[in-house]
C-alpha cells in the first residue's frame, strides 16, 4: 500500500490556506501550524463596542481566483460566500475641494473625470486600454507561473511579453509615465496611488505597475457580503472540509533539513516528520529563525522593504452621507509625502484611506453609527519613536478630516483600536511590519523576490506576500497556484 504523503504549512494566512487546500487535492494530508489563535493572517477582524472592522485588506479583486479554489474541490462558491461589484469603486477628495467618483463603468468614469478636471476622456480610455494590454501580456508569466524556472520563458506567452516590452515601460517610473500622459495633476495623483497597492513609491517604482489599475477599473472591484473577513472564514471552512488539520497557538521553532532536503519541523518541543514543507511566514524570519544553520539568499533577504501602515479603527457616533465605502483624502504635496517615507518619516499632511464597510454591510455598526478604518502609509519599523509618531498622526488625521467634513470628529469617536508596524510584525511576523515584504521600487524588483521553491533545499516551498509574485490577496492566492504547478 502506498504511503500517505504528509505536508506541513507554516502560517494560516490567505496564501497558507490556499496552499493547504491545493495540497489536499494532490493527495497530501496537511497540517497547518499557526502562531496566533485564529486563521487569516492580516485578513482578520476587530470587534469592539458593537462595531466590526476588517483589520487588514479591504478591497476584493480577481474573485475568480477564490472561486476556482472551491471549484477545484467540487464545491459551489455561492454556498460559502457572496460578493457584488461596487458601482463606485472609490471616492477621491482633493485639497482644492474636488471630489471624484471612480465609477466601475469606464465610460462613466472617464466622463466624470473630464467634467470635473481638465483631463480629456480619451486619456483615461488610453491609459486603461494600455493597462489591460499589459495585464494580458504579462499575467501568465509574472503572476501565475514561476519566474525562476527556465521553462516559463520558453513558450509563446513569453514571446508575447517580449513584444509588449515597450508598453510595459519598465525603464521609466510610474509617475514619469503618468505625468506625461495625463494633463491634470489630480488625475496624475489618482493613478500614481496604485503604486501603494504593493507598498511602493510611484516616483521610484517602474511604470509596469500601472497594470494594477486594470484589476479595479477593467475587471472590477467587489465587496464581500459580511466583509473581507468572510474570505478567511470561507477558506478556513473549505480547508477543514478537505481534511486539513489546524494547530493554532503553535510556534514552529525549526525547519529540519538533512542532506539538502526538508524533512520536518520542531514545534512545542516535538519533532514532526513531513514529505513537504511550505512556509507562509515572511521569508526573512523563515531563514533567520527557522533555518539559522542554512545558507540564506542574502541579496534577496536584504532587498529594501515595502511601506507599512498605521490604522485607526474608530467607531463613529454619526453617519456621513458624503462618504462611500472606499474614500481617499489626498495630501497636497504627494512627492513630499513619498520623499519622507523614503527617509523613514511621516508627513504632517498624509494621504488618508478611509474604509467604511457598514456602508455596504449595515450590521458592521450600530444604527446611526459607522465603522471607520482610517489608514495612512508609514515606513516599516526601523527603530522610529512610534509613540510620538502615532500621537502626531492621529492629530493630523483628525484635523484634516474634520476640516474637510465640517465636523469635530474627535468628539464622535466612541471606541478605538490601533494597528502599528510593530503590532503587525508581532501578529504576522512581517519583518518591520512591512506589508508586502520587499518593495517594488526598481525595475528588477519582480525578479528579486524569493522564488516559491528553494533552489538548495528539496521539498521546501514558499507562499504569501513576501515571495513571488508579491503582496495582496490576489497575489497570495497566485503564489499557492504556482506551488500547485511546481508540484
pLDDT digits (tens, 9 = 90+) for 13-35: 999 999 999 999 999 999 999 99
The whole-number pLDDT of residue 10 equals 98
pLDDT band at 168 (very low <50, low <70, confident <90, very high): confident
Q: Are strands 370-378 and 352-355 parallel, antiparallel or unpaired?
A: antiparallel
pLDDT band at 446 (very low <50, low <70, confident <90, very high): low
Q: Write down the mean pLDDT value for the chain.
A: 95
State the Cα–Cα distance between residues 97 and 332, nearest whole angstrom. Answer: 11
Return the beta strands (E) in 75-206 as ranges: 83-85, 88-93, 99-103
Q: Is the pLDDT of residue 471 over 70?
A: yes
pLDDT band at 1 (very low <50, low <70, confident <90, very high): very low
Measured distance between the N- and C-terminal CA atoms of the chain, rounded to whole angstroms: 22
State the Cα–Cα distance between residues 222 and 62, nearest whole angstrom. Answer: 9
Question: Over the range 120-145, which residues count as b (16 or more CB within 10 Å of their CB) and which as e?
Answer: ebebbeebbebbbebbebbbbbbbbb
Using an 8 Å Cβ cutoff, are 239 and 21 in contact? Answer: yes
pLDDT digits (tens, 9 = 90+) for 112-152: 999 999 999 999 999 999 999 999 988 888 889 888 887 87
Pull the grid cell for residue 349: 499632511
pLDDT digits (tens, 9 = 90+) for 55-112: 999 999 999 999 999 999 999 999 999 999 999 999 999 999 999 999 999 999 999 9
What count of Cα atoms within 13 Å lies in the side-chain half-sphere of residue 247?
Answer: 13
The whole-number average pLDDT for the span 302-322 is 97
Looking at residue 184, the DSSP 8-state letter turns out to be: S
pLDDT digits (tens, 9 = 90+) for 222-273: 999 999 999 999 999 999 999 999 999 999 999 999 999 999 999 999 999 9
pLDDT digits (tens, 9 = 90+) for 403-413: 999 999 999 99
The whole-number average pLDDT for the span 385-400 is 98
Pull the grid cell for residue 482: 504556482
The whole-number average pLDDT for the span 168-174 is 89
The whole-number average pLDDT for the span 305-327 is 98
Q: Is the pLDDT of residue 157 over 80?
A: no
∠391-395-398 over CA atoms, to 5°? Answer: 135
The whole-number pLDDT of residue 2 equals 60
pLDDT band at 159 (very low <50, low <70, confident <90, very high): confident
What count of Cα atoms within 13 Å lies in the side-chain half-sphere of residue 393?
Answer: 25
Amino acid at each position: 500500500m502506498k504511503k500517505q504523503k504528509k505536508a506541513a504549512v507554516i502560517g494560516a494566512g490567505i496564501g497558507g490556506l490556499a496552499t493547504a487546500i491545493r495540497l489536499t487535492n494532490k493527495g497530501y494530508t496537511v497540517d497547518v501550524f499557526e502562531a496566533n489563535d485564529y486563521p487569516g493572517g492580516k485578513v482578520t477582524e476587530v470587534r469592539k463596542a458593537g462595531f466590526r472592522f476588517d483589520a487588514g485588506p479591504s478591497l476584493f479583486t480577481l474573485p475568480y481566483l477564490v472561486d476556482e479554489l472551491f471549484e477545484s474541490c467540487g464545491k459551489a462558491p455561492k454556498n460559502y460566500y457572496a460578493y457584488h461589484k461596487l458601482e463606485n469603486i472609490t471616492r477621491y477628495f482633493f485639497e482644492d475641494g474636488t471630489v471624484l467618483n471612480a465609477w466601475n463603468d469606464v465610460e462613466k468614469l472617464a466622463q466624470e473625470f473630464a467634467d470635473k478636471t481638465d483631463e480629456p476622456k480619451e486619456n483615461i480610455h488610453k491609459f486603461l486600454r494600455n493597462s489591460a494590454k499589459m495585464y494580458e501580456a504579462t499575467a501568465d508569466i509574472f503572476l501565475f507561473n514561476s519566474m525562476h524556472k527556465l521553462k516559463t520563458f520558453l513558450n509563446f506567452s513569453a514571446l508575447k511579453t517580449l513584444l509588449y516590452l515597450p508598453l510595459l515601460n519598465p525603464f521609466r517610473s510610474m509617475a514619469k509615465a503618468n505625468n506625461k500622459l495625463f494633463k491634470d495633476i489630480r488625475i496624475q495623483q489618482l493613478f500614481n496611488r496604485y503604486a501603494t497597492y504593493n507598498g511602493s513609491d510611484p516616483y521610484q517604482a517602474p511604470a509596469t505597475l500601472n497594470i494594477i489599475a486594470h484589476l479595479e477599473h477593467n475587471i472590477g472591484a467587489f465587496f464581500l457580503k459580511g466583509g473581507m473577513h468572510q474570505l478567511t472564514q470561507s477558506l478556513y471552512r473549505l480547508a477543514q472540509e478537505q481534511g486539513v488539520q489546524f494547530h493554532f497557538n503553535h510556534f514552529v521553532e525549526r525547519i529540519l533539513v538533512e542532506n539538502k532536503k526538508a524533512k520536518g519541523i520542531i514545534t512545542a518541543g516535538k519533532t514532526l516528520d513531513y514529505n513537504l514543507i511550505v512556509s507562509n511566514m515572511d521569508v526573512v524570519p523563515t531563514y533567520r529563525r527557522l533555518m539559522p544553520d542554512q545558507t540564506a539568499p542574502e541579496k534577496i533577504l536584504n532587498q529594501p522593504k515595502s511601506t507599512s501602515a498605521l490604522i485607526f479603527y474608530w467607531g463613529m457616533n454619526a453617519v456621513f452621507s458624503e462618504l462611500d465605502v472606499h474614500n481617499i483624502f489626498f495630501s497636497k504635496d504627494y512627492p513630499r509625502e513619498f520623499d519622507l517615507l523614503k527617509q523613514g518619516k511621516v508627513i504632517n499632511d498624509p494621504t488618508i484611506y478611509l474604509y467604511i464597510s457598514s456602508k455596504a454591510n449595515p450590521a458592521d455598526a450600530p444604527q446611526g453609527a459607522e465603522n471607520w478604518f482610517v489608514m495612512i502609509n508609514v515606513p516599516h519599523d526601523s527603530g522610529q519613536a512610534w509613540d510620538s509618531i502615532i500621537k502626531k498622526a492621529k492629530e493630523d488625521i483628525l484635523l484634516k478630516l474634520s476640516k474637510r467634513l465640517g465636523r469635530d470628529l474627535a468628539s464622535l469617536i466612541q471606541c478605538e483600536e490601533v494597528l502599528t508596524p510593530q503590532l503587525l510584525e508581532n501578529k504576522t511576523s512581517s519583518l518591520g511590519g512591512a506589508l508586502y515584504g520587499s518593495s517594488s521600487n526598481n525595475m528588477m524588483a519582480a525578479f528579486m523576490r524569493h522564488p516559491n521553491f528553494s533552489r538548495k533545499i528539496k521539498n521546501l516551498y514558499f507562499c504569501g506576500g513576501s515571495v513571488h509574485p508579491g503582496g495582496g490577496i490576489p497575489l497570495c492566492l497566485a503564489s499557492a497556484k504556482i506551488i500547485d504547478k511546481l508540484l
